[in-house]
């Protein structure tokens, strides 16, 4: 049994992209689709039998038709190669009704032998292996309360384990959730969706190495291996600067063994400019000299500046901004933190392209809120900001 597991494509309009005049598409979306194409070509060259995607296909819950079309073309290529395609529904694929973003494909899946849309827990049997599939089910479809959902997951994991223990086949588990050892990515765009304080995480002890050959999980964007058989593949492309240092890729597995294959995704780079010094002009000059030695052609950059309020009028940023726009793949703007000399009073100046969720969180820190209110205020504020940016 040879297969591919990748997850969290998050196809959709990205604010870190720019319009490709030749295609009319968002260039960052094209980057992510290119990563997906690389995985598909790898799968075809390796002549795998099965290709599994672990959920969160779109960046927003109600994607435009163009994004559905772009992703469907990739699915067609997999199916044309006679590779079985298994698509797990993720939490980002859930709408506010009893449907999800793959509902239309699900209606046709019964007519397409190699296409499997997994919206409820299932087991698929092969000659030498069994696949245990646990998607992020739609609460409305099964009439589940959010409080009962963790129990629903746990019941199926234990039911799966009980069944798997009865035979000697290879047992692969695929799911869309976090474990007690998972480390969250720092994606601002996703807000609390990757919050590991959620009650929906599963204790890693629920997975017994004597039963499970491999456990491959989606949902968390950071690639990581909790142990030698339980792993998060991570998203196939960087969503924002919270994932600046994260490697991106997918898993290839064969006969009980697996290998993480890294993708060459666009780099995100924060350029920190410290002008909170005695001679800010000299520091600025040194920074400009050093930055010219960096190759930024394939890099999405942002500038983060710290400066004394009294020195703000001494520095002009037009030149460095113009250089970064021309020399980097995409420059998204600057974030200036001004610090008063006499007290810890911080104000922010931002360009229109900066991450407003991050700015909102900085603002919350300055409010005198009771501890019990901080988390719900942040969650609701982030939710509103994220939804407004997705319109």
CATH of residue 15: 3.60.21.10
* Amino acid 384: pLDDT: 63
11, 60, 205, 251, 264 from 236: Cα distances, Å: 10, 16, 27, 11, 10
* Amino acid 207: pLDDT: 98
Q: Does residue 179 lie in a domain region?
A: yes
pTM over 0.85: no
* Amino acid 357: pLDDT: 63
- H runs (alpha helix) in the chain: 27-46, 65-80, 103-109, 149-164, 280-291, 318-327, 356-366, 371-390
Q: Are residues 45 and 89 in the same domain?
A: yes
Q: Are residues 217 and 286 in the same domain?
A: no
Q: Are residues 137 and 247 in the same domain?
A: yes
Q: Between 106 and 211, where is the model more confident?
A: 211
Q: Exposed, middle or buried: residue 134 (CB in 10 Å: 0-12, 13-18, 19+)?
A: buried
Q: For residue range 211-269, what is the model confidence (pLDDT) as tens digits?
A: 999 999 999 999 999 999 999 999 999 988 889 999 999 999 999 999 999 999 999 99
Q: Are residues 200 and 57 in the same domain?
A: yes
Q: Are residues 29 and 8 in the same domain?
A: yes
- H runs (alpha helix) in 62-202: 65-80, 103-109, 149-164
Whether 6 and 236 have beta carbons less than 8 Å apart is answered as yes
150 φ, ψ to 5°?
-60, -40
Give the total number of structural domains in the chain.
2
The bridge status of strand 299-308 relative to strand 267-275 is parallel
Tokens standing for residue 97: 């009704």
Mean pLDDT taken over the chain: 86
Q: Which of 200, 234, 262 is the last residue of a domain?
A: 262
Question: Cα separation of 354 and 303, whole Å?
Answer: 10
Q: Which of 236, 262, 288 is the last residue of a domain?
A: 262
Per DSSP, the chain holds a count of helices (H) and strands (E) of: 8, 16
**Which DSSP symbol is given to 111?**
T
* Amino acid 391: pLDDT: 38
Q: Does residue 360 lie in a domain region?
A: no
Q: Does residue 200 lie in a domain region?
A: yes
Which residues have CB under 8 Å from 76's CB, separation 6+?
Answer: none
- Domain span at 333: 267-354
Q: Are residues 135 and 69 in the same domain?
A: yes
Whether 348 and 336 have beta carbons less than 8 Å apart is answered as yes
* Amino acid 277: pLDDT: 93
Q: How confident is the model at residue 341 (pLDDT cuts 50, 70, 90)?
A: low
Strand partners, 337: 306, 348
Q: What does the pLDDT average to over 347-361?
A: 56
Percent above pLDDT 70 for the chain? 83
Question: Cα separation of 347 and 336, whole Å?
Answer: 8
Q: Does residue 364 lie in a domain region?
A: no
* Short-list 293, 290, 230, CA closest to 258: 230
Q: Between 25 and 94, where is the model more confident?
A: 25
Q: Are residues 131 and 202 in the same domain?
A: yes
Q: Are residues 212 and 282 in the same domain?
A: no
Helix pair 65-80, 27-46: axis angle to 10 deg: 10
* Amino acid 216: pLDDT: 98
* Amino acid 374: pLDDT: 73
Helix pair 318-327, 280-291: axis angle to 10 deg: 10
24, 129, 332 from 2: Cα distances, Å: 37, 10, 41
Q: How confident is the model at residue 197 (pLDDT cuts 50, 70, 90)?
A: very low
Q: Is the pLDDT of residue 385 over 90?
A: no
* Amino acid 129: pLDDT: 97
Question: Cα separation of 16 and 270, whole Å?
Answer: 13
The bridge status of strand 249-254 relative to strand 2-6 is antiparallel
Whether 320 and 333 have beta carbons less than 8 Å apart is answered as no
* Amino acid 242: pLDDT: 87
Percent above pLDDT 90 for the chain? 62
* Amino acid 346: pLDDT: 47
Tokens standing for residue 46: 């390796």
Q: For residue range 128-180, what is the model confidence (pLDDT) as tens digits?
A: 999 999 998 877 777 777 778 788 899 999 999 999 999 999 999 999 999 99
Q: For residue range 271-324, what is the model confidence (pLDDT) as tens digits?
A: 999 999 999 999 999 999 999 999 999 999 999 999 999 999 999 999 999 999
Q: Are residues 109 and 217 in the same domain?
A: yes
Q: Between 338 and 187, where is the model more confident?
A: 338
Q: Is the pLDDT of residue 107 over 80?
A: no
Q: How confident is the model at residue 191 (pLDDT cuts 50, 70, 90)?
A: very low
Q: Does residue 391 lie in a domain region?
A: no
Q: What does the pLDDT average to over 327-350?
A: 74
Q: Is the pLDDT of residue 328 over 80?
A: yes
Tokens standing for residue 237: 């492309």
Q: What does the pLDDT average to over 351-356?
A: 51
- For CA atoms 10, 13, 17, 20, the dihedral sign is positive
Q: Does residue 382 lie in a domain region?
A: no
Question: Cα separation of 54 and 93, whole Å?
Answer: 11
- The b-or-e profile of 298-330 (16+ CB within 10 A means b, else e) is ebbbbbebbbbeebeeebeeeebeeebeebbbb
Q: What does the pLDDT average to over 48-59?
A: 94
* Amino acid 373: pLDDT: 66
Q: Is the pLDDT of residue 194 over 60?
A: no
């Amino acid at each position: 049994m040879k297969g591919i597991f990748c997850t969290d494509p998050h196809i959709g309009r990205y604010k870190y992209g720019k319009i490709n005049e030749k295609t009319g598409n968002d260039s960052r979306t094209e980057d992510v689709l290119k990563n997906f194409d690389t995985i598909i070509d790898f799968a075809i060259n390796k002549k795998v039998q099965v290709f599994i995607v672990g959920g969160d296909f779109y960046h927003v819950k109600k994607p435009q038709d163009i994004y559905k079309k772009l992703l469907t073309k990739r699915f067609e290529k997999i199916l044309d190669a006679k590779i079985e395609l298994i698509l797990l529904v993720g939490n980002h694929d859930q709408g506010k009704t009893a449907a999800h973003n793959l509902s239309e494909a699900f209606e046709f899946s019964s007519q397409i032998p190699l296409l499997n849309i997994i919206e409820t827990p299932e087991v698929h049997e092969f000659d030498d292996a069994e696949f245990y599939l646990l998607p992020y089910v739609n609460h409305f479809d099964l009439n589940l309360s959010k409080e009962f959902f963790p129990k629903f997951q746990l019941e199926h994991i234990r039911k799966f384990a009980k069944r798997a223990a009865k035979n000697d086949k290879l047992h692969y588990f695929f799911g869309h959730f976090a474990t007690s050892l998972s480390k969250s990515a720092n994606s601002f765009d996703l807000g609390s969706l990757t919050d590991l304080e959620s009650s929906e995480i599963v204790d890693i002890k629920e997975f017994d190495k004597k039963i499970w050959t491999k456990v491959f999980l989606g949902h968390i964007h950071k690639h990581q291996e909790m142990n030698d058989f339980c792993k998060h593949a991570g998203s196939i492309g960087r969503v924002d600067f919270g994932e600046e240092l994260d490697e991106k890729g997918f898993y290839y597995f064969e006969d009980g063994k697996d290998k993480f294959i890294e993708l060459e995704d666009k780099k995100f780079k924060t350029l920190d400019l410290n002008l909170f010094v005695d001679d800010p002009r000299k520091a600025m000059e040194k920074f400009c000299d050093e930055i010219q030695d960096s190759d930024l052609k394939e890099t999405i950059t942002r500038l983060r500046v710290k400066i004394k309020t009294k020195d703000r009028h001494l520095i002009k940023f037009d030149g460095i901004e113009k250089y970064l726009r021309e020399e980097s793949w995409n420059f998204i703007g600057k974030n200036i933190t001004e610090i008063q000399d006499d007290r810890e009073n911080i104000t922010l100046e931002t360009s229109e392209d900066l991450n407003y969720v991050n700015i909102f969180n900085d603002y919350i820190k300055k409010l005198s809120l009771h501890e019990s209110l901080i988390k719900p205020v942040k969650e609701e504020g982030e939710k509103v900001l994220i939804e407004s940016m997705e319109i």
